[in-house]
Structures are given as C-alpha cells and as structure tokens.
Amino acid sequence: MSAWKLDALHVSYRSGPPWRVEEHPILNGASLDVAPGERVGLIGSSGAGKTTLIRAGMGLLKPDSGSVHILGEEATHWSPRQWTAARHRIQILFQSPRAMLHPTMPIARLLHESARLHRPGESSSKAVDEVLDAVGLSGRGGALAGQLSGGERRRAGIARLLLAKPSLVVADEPTAGLDASLKAEIVELLLDRLGPDCAVVLVSHDLPLVAWACSRVAVVDGGTVVESCDAQLLTAPERHAATRKLVRDAGLEAP
C-alpha cells in the first residue's frame, strides 16, 4: 500500500473570452508514489509544477484527469467533507507558518482546539503541554503569532501538525525565509517528531537540504516528474538534464 500515489495527473488553466478559450497545461501526466514512512524530496525549478502537483494531490485543486490515492484509498473524487475527515491522517505544512496560526489567538489556545479536534479522547491540556515541550516552545503558549520569531512560528506550526498524529505530511518549503543555521534544525525536528512511520514529502528549492534530509528525490520539470532517484545518486552523470541543471545551480556537482 502506498502512503500517497499520484498517477498521470493533468491540470490546465483556461484563459480568454468564451468564444476563444485557451488552455495552458501546468501538469502533464505527473506521477509520484510514496511508500509509508518514506522521506521523499520534491524538487524542480520555479514554474516546473511542484506546487500544483501537491495541491492536486492533497485535495486543494481538482485535476483535469488522473488519479490520487491516499493511504490506500481512492481519493480522486472525494467530497470536501471526505477530505476534511481525512485531515487527521494527512497534513500539509505550508510555506508561510502564519497560514497555520491565528493572529489574535495565543498559541496554546490554538493548539487546544487542534487537540480537541484530533484527540477527542485525551486531555487537551496534557497533549498541548507535551507538544509544546516536544518542539521547544515550553513557556511560550501564551504568545501570539506576531510575538514569535520566524523559527518559533515554524515550531508552532509543527506542534499543531503533530497533534493530528498524521500518516502523511507534505511540507511545502517549510524553511523558506529562515537562516541557514535554522533550516536543518527545523527539518530535523519535523522528521524526528513525526517518527519513522509517517511518510513525508519535502518540497524545497534548497537542494542540499533535500539531499541531506530525504532518502529519495523526485524531480519535476515541464509539469511532470521526469526522474526519481536515491538522494545519494543525485549527482550521478546519467541523471536527467533537468536534475543535472538543478545540481549545477546548487553547486553539488561531483569534483
């Protein structure tokens, strides 16, 4: 059983007047298969289709054709209610941590609401205390999002995600805007706290970070996944041209 399987996804947007509508393809048969517990990096140049791929695969965008399977279930035609019901098993960590926080609600209160939603049979106070401690935010539960540093906001977003105990997490540029010294720390915290049974897809422009954190790397180019390889083989000369360009641009070419 796959944790997340995307098969031949096509997505286009349409523009122009009704009598002359033009289609602009974004995804051209993109496919990706992620095993339970696997750490997969999703890379590609700007405009390659990474964001559209994860949006289509996580129920935020309806594909024109193709199929989506989540934890062994056919999810292509799930209703909004079915996607909502599945959110305790599948989670998205957005690029902006503010998307997971509330500007006027203290962090602890927000986490209490998440705990009551995702852990109805447990003490929400205990769950919140534990998760704040796990992400290094003990004593910061009373702070608002605007009172936290960039790194602390990322930690608060991870805390909210952890309360769901997900089986699949798609992290979209989770370290964007952070100093280099914090990037590895945040990704390591995320992967460590999610545990080995949770599949994680890390979408990032930071190729060295992806190569360090993930066991496999999938490359998106021209709206499709052109290649998937072991992270340790990313610099091999037989890689796809799009992969080799990304490697060169990141300064990872073998000497």
SS3 label, residue 185:
helix
Across the range 100-115, mean pLDDT stands at 86
pLDDT tier for residue 143 given thresholds of 50, 70 and 90 = confident
SS3 label, residue 27:
strand
* The pLDDT of residue 236 is above 70: yes
pLDDT tier for residue 26 given thresholds of 50, 70 and 90 = very high
Q: Is 24 left (phi over 0), alpha (psi -120 to 50) or beta?
A: beta
- Please tell me the predicted confidence (pLDDT) of residue 97: 66
Q: How many CA atoms lie within 13 A of 87 on its CB side?
A: 16
**Cα radius of gyration (the chain):** 19
* The pLDDT of residue 55 is above 70: yes
* The pLDDT of residue 250 is above 60: yes
Across the range 24-53, mean pLDDT stands at 95
pTM above 0.85, yes or no: yes
Q: How many CA atoms lie within 13 A of 187 on its CB side?
A: 31
Q: If you search the block for the tokens 């290649």, which residue do you land on?
A: 227
* The pLDDT of residue 255 is above 60: no
Helices 124-134 and 150-162 pack at an angle, to 10 degrees, of 140
SS3 label, residue 103:
coil
Which has more confidence, 15 or 30? Answer: 30
The most confident of the ranges 12-26, 44-58, 181-195 is 44-58
Tell me how many degrees the CA angle 143-176-181 measures, rounded to the nearest 5.
80
CA distances from 236 to 169, 171, 243 (A): 28, 26, 10
Q: Is 216 left (phi over 0), alpha (psi -120 to 50) or beta?
A: beta
Angstrom distance (rounded) from CA 190 to CA 171:
9
Quick: pLDDT tens for 168-204: 999 998 888 788 878 888 899 899 989 999 999 999 9
